[in-house]
């Protein structure tokens, strides 16, 4: 075997021992060659600092800072995640339609979802949306909008898309007319 192939398998000192063993070099000659190799190694690469056993820090001292909880420090330009406000949910447009409202006559009566109708709550009736869905209703004439929760079925008048509670209708300014063309967005 050549030195190149051996160097991939064995470290330098082991290669030298193997070669000397093959050549039948004596033990004193082997010791001399080891000393020469060590001297060459010292010349080729700077020696690593030697540590005295007593100077090494105790493991307890090294790992002590990790045992205690540390309060995070805010650095200029850092983001304090406790103040982050989640983004508003993406709205899905449901198009536009005609909204009407219902109030006193139905106040206190059960809705299709089983809860009692409250004309002062921001609720609405829709034919197909699931109960609990939140819908943003916008009156394009004045730009006012309200978010309502679907809790009933309706409207049962042709050409109408959504029935709002009196409070929701008042919020977007459609009480005086009784109905209005609105834009609908499903929030969740």
| CA atoms lying within 13 Å on the CB side of residue 30 | 15
Q: Which CATH number fits domain 92-186: 3.40.50.1000, 3.30.1130.10, 3.40.640.10, 2.40.40.10?
A: 2.40.40.10
Tens digit of pLDDT for each residue in 104-157?
899 999 999 999 999 999 999 999 999 999 999 999 999 999 999 999 999 988
Query: Tokens for 66?
Result: 């990790």
pLDDT (tens digit, 9 = 90+) per residue, 55-76? Answer: 555 555 555 555 555 555 666 6
pLDDT at residue 4 above 80?
no
Q: How far is CA 123 from CA 4, 19, 131, in A?
A: 84, 93, 10
* pLDDT level of residue 9 (50, 70, 90 thresholds): low
Between residues 43 and 99, the one the model is more confident about: 99
> Is residue 172 a contact partner of residue 142, using CB atoms and an 8 Å limit?
yes
Per-residue pLDDT tens over the stretch 77-96: 676 666 666 666 678 999 99
Residue 6: band (very low, low, confident or very high) from pLDDT cuts 50, 70, 90: very low
Prediction pTM value = 0.54
pLDDT at 33 over 70: no
Domain ranges of the chain: 3-44, 92-186
Which tokens sit at 2?
């050549």
């Amino acid at each position: 075997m050549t030195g190149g192939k051996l160097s991939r398998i064995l470290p330098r000192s082991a290669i030298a021992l193997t070669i000397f063993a093959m050549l039948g070099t004596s033990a004193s000659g082997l010791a001399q060659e080891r000393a020469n190799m060590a001297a060459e190694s010292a010349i080729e690469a700077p020696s690593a600092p030697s540590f005295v056993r007593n100077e090494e820090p105790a493991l307890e001292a090294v790992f002590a800072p990790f045992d205690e909880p540390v309060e995070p420090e805010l650095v200029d330009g850092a983001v304090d995640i406790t103040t982050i406000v989640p983004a508003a949910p993406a709205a899905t447009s449901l198009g536009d339609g005609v909204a009407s409202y219902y109030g006193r006559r139905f106040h206190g009566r059960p809705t299709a979802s089983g809860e009692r109708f409250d004309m002062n709550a921001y609720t609405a009736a829709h034919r197909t949306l699931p109960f609990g869905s939140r819908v943003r209703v916008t009156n394009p004439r004045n730009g006012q909008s309200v978010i309502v929760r679907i809790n009933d079925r309706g409207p049962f008048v042709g050409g109408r898309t959504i029935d709002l509670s009196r409070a929701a209708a008042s919020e977007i300014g459609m009480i005086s007319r009784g109905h209005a063309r609105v834009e609908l967005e499903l929030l969740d």
